């Protein structure tokens, strides 16, 4: 009978029809059938699908909708579309595609959707489909009762037979009846004489299917052993089993637990927790209600069904989950030897407390006693000698003998009796730094230099340095130092304390970093120290190394505040080639570049002080600049920087290596022990340890700490909309790079990271002005929403009579702005890396009231400028590292500023700029934890970050 469409305006009912497919087995489909006037179903029907559901939805509910969508997934056309899109026809699909793994995938797909659907069908009208396709041929009754199943295994001298028995409503079900169908495979739902039911014990359909056509399966004696070892135990464990010719026993006993430790490997540990019942041992995973053991003696076969105590096993499993070093329960079973010994030393007491027996295998037995250490120290000239003794199991061993273990991260130490003691976790943190830098005096003594005693102070208090270190750590006990008589300035309170700290470092021959915020007077505090040294009678010259742009700033301040200091400026082509020319002067000013060039001239000269300004410039220890600076000779060393950390903690190592060589060991040690654990792993303990070690050697004051001496600073994000043309260019570029990124395999990400970053840079430029990347875009303000907003705010500021600093990292952008300012006849100053007369440009802006706009390249003008005449700062493009932006703002917000400073960061909405700001907040983790610092965000971007930026 052909299908006739029904009229949705007249009564109809949804029906669900079970039918058999040649390849897919039982399927269920959804239909609507027209009602007759007497309420019965007519012969008019049609299929019900997601695309026509809305025509009939007025008589359907949400459950019908869920069913329609579920069952559409097992429709033949949908299966072919999903699993064989290249098939030319249904016949082609089943002939050429429906095999092997595809066949298994289709089976899992069908079963999953039918299993979900059948739970929704209980209160629906379900039928068996007629051979002519009519969906309501015979009704199906959903049974609430579940069937019971038991499997019989009958063994005689020739063979073993097995078969299931199914009982429904206390009556045996004839499995070979012609009406039987397995409708859902797992858990099985069976259709028998128009009744649909499932089982009390969830069973797989494949365990029943063979018995729909035959009464039993026969297994010969030659193949029964395989069944005994695999199939039969599984059946006994899961179902009720009846046997004949096979003995079946039941065991119910209390569980006992054994923890097996295999130390036989030199690189790994094998750990295994087992549970035993009546002498039978099992793994705790997976959790089971029963386990089955097979015993075969001659021709006799016995199966033992063991009831397991799931509650007791669960308590032990929960303990192992809490103790597990990883995210899954298996992470404690196989470990690197060092990590495994660490884990064992921590966890063995807890395992024993739970009554778990520890069983060891391997040559050397582990000794779980915790070794104890006693430390004594004394001054010995310029050194501190450390004598430490370890006691364990009645042995007294000099701590020096454990040094190699701690340096190599080796947790096990062989005692004189051949047993292996596990060194405490704490030794590898508390003493790792100490043994890295200490020297072995003899077989019992380690020694460190006096300035390295901060490391010793961490774990050996009472060494005699306690008071000095506390003073250096700025706890209020720094003695006040008398100011030089010739100082032409009145130091603020915090500047006096800074001078006191510098003088204390000098007294104890220690190097340190004066890391005050930009504008707080690091130059003045340093000059005050040098002047005091001159008045104490020091005749040896000191050397101050700085960026070229700061030479005249230092000269101006020295002439103003310390005119008694004689200054030699060692720059330019006419600079001296005779080192003796330095001798008559108190201070020599030079640059990092000239130290590299003149290293042969300067490396053997005995300077009194070497002071590095902007010392972050030696952050790369392998750079020629860092190597040259560290090759110079001096009695005292000092560093000045507002950002001691720009990118990573290794920036700090290089500076401390200049100031106090050896204090933090080798660069590799510092990176592995501090940088990686803190920056990558967020190790709080290492962070605290590093902060404690650094604190005596770094003096850091922020503007917020001296805010009473500065006017307020107001910072805000100023959001701008893109122009239509700008948005079109931006979206096209973003989509291209995003698709490129998403198509990369995980292994290709690192190799292509630079390409992706170039795409991000291009998006940043478009977000500012398309003219930065599109040659034909022109310079019109209407091309960029940010330009329009910038000019609007600029007009307001100029109308108030205020001055503004305008920063951008893109010189090309500044040139676009310069053109616009010239068109508007606005007086301005301009500075980028090519500007020669920097100080003259600065003075022009500072002193000319009509000049109220200063265009500045972020890199060229981010340091060394005093621009307190401005009370507004515009950051036109957000930088990856917010510390660079902060330096720009500090050109105006510094000592000498009397007005409130307003800082505006221009952000283009809906672009990468907005996401950069969020990344800054998320990635800048070290700022308040170690020393004021922000991460170089690009270095820490992973593939998820990249996708989010391009989203």
Give the DSSP per-residue string, 287-300.
--SEEEEEEEETTE
Q: What are phi and psi of 798, to 5 degrees?
A: -65, -35
The yes-or-no verdict on residue 703 having pLDDT over 70 is: no
pLDDT the model gives residue 455: 64
- pTM for the model stands at 0.52
pLDDT over 70 percentage in the chain: 86
Q: Report the pLDDT value the prediction gives residue 466, as an integer from 0 to 100.
A: 46
| Residues facing residue 698 across a β-bridge | 513
Q: What average pLDDT does this structure show over 766-790?
A: 73
Q: How far is residue 862's CA from residue 883's CA, in Å, rounded to a whole number? A: 10
Indicate the pLDDT class of residue 476, thresholds 50, 70 and 90: low
pLDDT of residue 778: 47
Q: Please state whether the peptide bond connecting residue 582 to the residue before it is cis, i.e. omega within 30 degrees of 0.
A: no
Residue 597 has pLDDT above 90, yes or no: yes
Please give the average per-residue pLDDT across 765-781, as a whole number: 70
457, 465, 480, 492, 514 from 468: Cα distances, Å:
11, 5, 14, 25, 18
- Select from 315, 374, 317, 325 the least CA-distant residue to 345: 325
Q: Which of 137-141, 911-915, 932-936 has the lowest mean pLDDT?
A: 932-936
Confidence class of residue 1 from pLDDT cuts 50, 70 and 90? Answer: very low
CA atoms within 13 A on the CB side of 349: 6
Q: Strands 412-414 and 12-21: what pairing?
A: unpaired
Q: Looking at the DSSP assignment, which residues form a beta bridge with residue 19?
A: 27
According to DSSP, the residues that pair with 711 across neighbouring strands are: none
Task: Give the pLDDT score at 951.
Answer: 63
pLDDT digits (tens, 9 = 90+) for 847-893: 898 999 999 887 777 666 777 788 788 888 877 666 666 666 776 65
Which range (250-259, 540-549, 652-661, 864-873) has the least confidence? 864-873
More confidently predicted of 520 and 931: 520
Is the pLDDT assigned to residue 472 strictly greater than 60?
A: no
- Summarize pLDDT for 505-521 with one digit per residue, the tens: 998 888 999 988 766 78
pLDDT on residue 619: 87
Query: How much is the pLDDT for 931?
Result: 45
3-state secondary structure of 834: coil
Query: Does the structure show a pLDDT above 90 at 298?
Result: no
Q: Between the CA atoms of 89, 93, 95 and 101, what dihedral angle is there, to the nearest 10 degrees? A: 170
pLDDT at 406: 85
Mean per-residue pLDDT over the chain, rounded: 84
Query: Alpha-carbon dihedral of residues 31, 34, 39, 41, nearest 10 degrees?
Result: -60
Mean pLDDT to the nearest integer, 46-65: 92
Give the lowest-confidence range in 158-167, 533-542, 841-850, 911-920. Answer: 911-920
In this prediction, residue 366 carries a pLDDT of 83
Which spans in 874-926 are helix H? 882-889, 912-923
- pLDDT tier for residue 936 given thresholds of 50, 70 and 90: very low
Task: Say which residue, 296 or 609, is predicted with more confidence.
Answer: 609
- Residue 526 and residue 89: Cα distance in Å, rounded? 86
**What is residue 932's predicted lDDT score, i.e. its pLDDT?**
36
804-828: pLDDT as tens digits: 888 888 888 888 889 889 998 999 9
Spell out where 403-509 has E strands. 412-414, 420-422, 439-440, 445-449
């Amino acid at each position: 009978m052909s299908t006739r469409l029904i009229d949705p305006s007249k009564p109809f009912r949804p029906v669900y029809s079970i039918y058999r497919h040649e390849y897919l087995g039982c399927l269920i489909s959804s239909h609507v059938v027209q009602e007759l006037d007497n309420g019965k179903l007519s012969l008019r029907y049609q299929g019900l699908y997601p695309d026509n559901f809305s025509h009939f939805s007025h008589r359907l509910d949400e459950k019908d909708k869920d069913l329609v969508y579920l069952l559409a997934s097992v429709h033949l056309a949908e299966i072919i579309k999903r699993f064989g899109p290249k098939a030319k026809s249904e016949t082609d699909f089943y002939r050429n595609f429906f095999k092997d793994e595809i066949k298994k995938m289709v089976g899992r797909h069908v079963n999953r959707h039918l299993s979900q659907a059948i739970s929704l069908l209980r209160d629906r009208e379900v039928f068996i489909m007629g051979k002519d396709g009519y969906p309501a041929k015979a009704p199906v009754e959903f049974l609430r009762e579940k069937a019971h199943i038991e499997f019989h295994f009958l063994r005689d001298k020739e063979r073993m037979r097995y078969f299931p028995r199914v009982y429904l409503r206390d009556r045996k079900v004839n499995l070979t009846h012609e009406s039987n169908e397995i409708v859902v495979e797992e858990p099985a739902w069976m259709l028998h004489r128009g009744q649909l039911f499932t089982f009390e014990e969830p069973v797989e359909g494949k365990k029943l299917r063979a018995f729909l056509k035959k009464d039993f399966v026969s297994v010969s004696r030659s193949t029964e052993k395989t069944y005994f070892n695999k199939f039969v135990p599984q059946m006994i464990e899961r179902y009720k089993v009846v046997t004949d010719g096979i003995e079946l026993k039941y065991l119910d006993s209390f569980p006992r637990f054994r923890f097996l430790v295999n130390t036989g490997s030199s690189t790994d540990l094998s750990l295994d927790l087992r549970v035993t019942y009546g002498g039978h041992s099992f793994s705790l995973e997976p959790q089971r209600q029963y386990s089955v053991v097979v015993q075969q003696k001659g021709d006799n076969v016995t199966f033992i069904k063991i009831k397991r105590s799931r509650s007791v096993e669960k308590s032990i499993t929960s303990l192992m989950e809490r103790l597990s070093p990883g995210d899954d329960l298996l992470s404690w079973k196989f470990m690197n030897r060092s990590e495994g010994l660490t884990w064992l030393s921590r966890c063995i007491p807890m395992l024993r407390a739970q009554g778990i027996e520890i069983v060891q295998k391997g040559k050397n037995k582990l000794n779980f006693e915790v070794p104890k250490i006693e430390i004594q120290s004394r001054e010995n000239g310029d050194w501190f000698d450390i004598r430490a003794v370890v006691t364990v199991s009645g042995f007294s061993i000099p701590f020096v003998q454990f040094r190699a273990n701690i340096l190599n991260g080796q947790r096990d130490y062989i005692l004189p009796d051949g047993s292996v003691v596990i060194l405490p976790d704490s030794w590898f943190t508390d003493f790792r730094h100490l043994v890295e830098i200490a020297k072995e005096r003899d077989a019992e003594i380690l020694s460190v230099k006096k300035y390295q005693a901060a490391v010793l102070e961490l774990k050996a208090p009472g060494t005699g340095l306690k008071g000095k270190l506390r003073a250096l750590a700025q706890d209020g006990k720094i003695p006040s130092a008398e100011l030089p008589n010739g100082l032409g300035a009145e130091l603020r309170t915090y500047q006096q304390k800074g001078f006191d700290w510098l003088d204390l470092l000098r007294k104890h021959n220690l190097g340190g970093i004066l890391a005050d915020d930009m504008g707080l007077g690091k130059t003045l505090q340093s000059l005050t120290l040098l002047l005091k040294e001159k008045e104490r009678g020091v005749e040896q010259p000191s050397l101050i190394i700085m960026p070229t742009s700061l030479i005249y700033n230092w000269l101006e301040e020295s002439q103003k505040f310390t005119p008694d200091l004689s200054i030699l400026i060692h720059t330019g082509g006419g600079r001296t080639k005779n080192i003796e020319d330095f001798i008559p002067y108190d201070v020599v000013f030079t640059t990092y570049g000239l130290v590299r060039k003149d290293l042969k001239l300067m490396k053997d000269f005995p300077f009194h002080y070497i002071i590095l300004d902007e010392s972050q410039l030696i952050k790369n220890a392998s750079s020629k600049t860092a190597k040259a600076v560290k090759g110079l000779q001096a009695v005292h060393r000092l560093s000045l920087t507002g950002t001691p950390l720009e990118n990573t903690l290794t920036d700090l190592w290089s500076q401390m290596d200049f100031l106090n060589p050896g204090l933090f060991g080798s660069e590799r040690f510092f990176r592995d022990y501090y940088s990686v654990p803190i920056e990558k792993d967020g190790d709080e303990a290492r962070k605290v340890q590093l902060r404690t070690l650094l604190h005596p050697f770094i003096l850091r004051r922020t503007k917020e700490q001296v805010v009473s001496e500065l006017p307020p600073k107001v910072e805000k994000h100023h959001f701008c909309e893109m122009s239509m043309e700008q948005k079109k260019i931006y979206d096209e570029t973003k989509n291209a790079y995003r698709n490129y990124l998403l198509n990369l395999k995980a292994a290709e990400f690192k190799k292509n990271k630079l390409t992706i970053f170039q795409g991000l840079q291009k998006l940043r430029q478009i977000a500012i002005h398309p003219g930065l990347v599109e040659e034909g875009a022109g310079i019109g303000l209407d091309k960029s929403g940010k330009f329009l907003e910038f000019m609007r705010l600029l007009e307001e500021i100029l109308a108030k009579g205020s001055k503004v600093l305008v920063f951008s990292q893109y010189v090309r952008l500044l040139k676009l702005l310069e053109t616009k300012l010239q068109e508007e006849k606005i007086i301005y100053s301009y500075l980028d890396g090519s500007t020669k007369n920097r100080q003259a440009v600065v003075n022009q802006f500072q002193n000319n009231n009509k000049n109220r706009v200063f265009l500045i390249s972020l890199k060229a003008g981010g340091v060394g400028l005093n621009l307190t005449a401005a009370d507004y700062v515009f950051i036109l493009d957000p930088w990856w590292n917010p510390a660079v932006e902060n330096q720009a703002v500090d050109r105006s917000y510094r000592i000498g500023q009397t007005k409130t400073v307003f800082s505006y960061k221009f952000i283009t909405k809906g672009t990468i700029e907005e996401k950069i700001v969020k990344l800054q907040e998320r990635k800048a983790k070290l700022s308040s934890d170690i020393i004021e610092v922000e991460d170089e965000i690009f270095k820490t971007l992973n593939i998820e970050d990249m996708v989010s930026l391009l989203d």
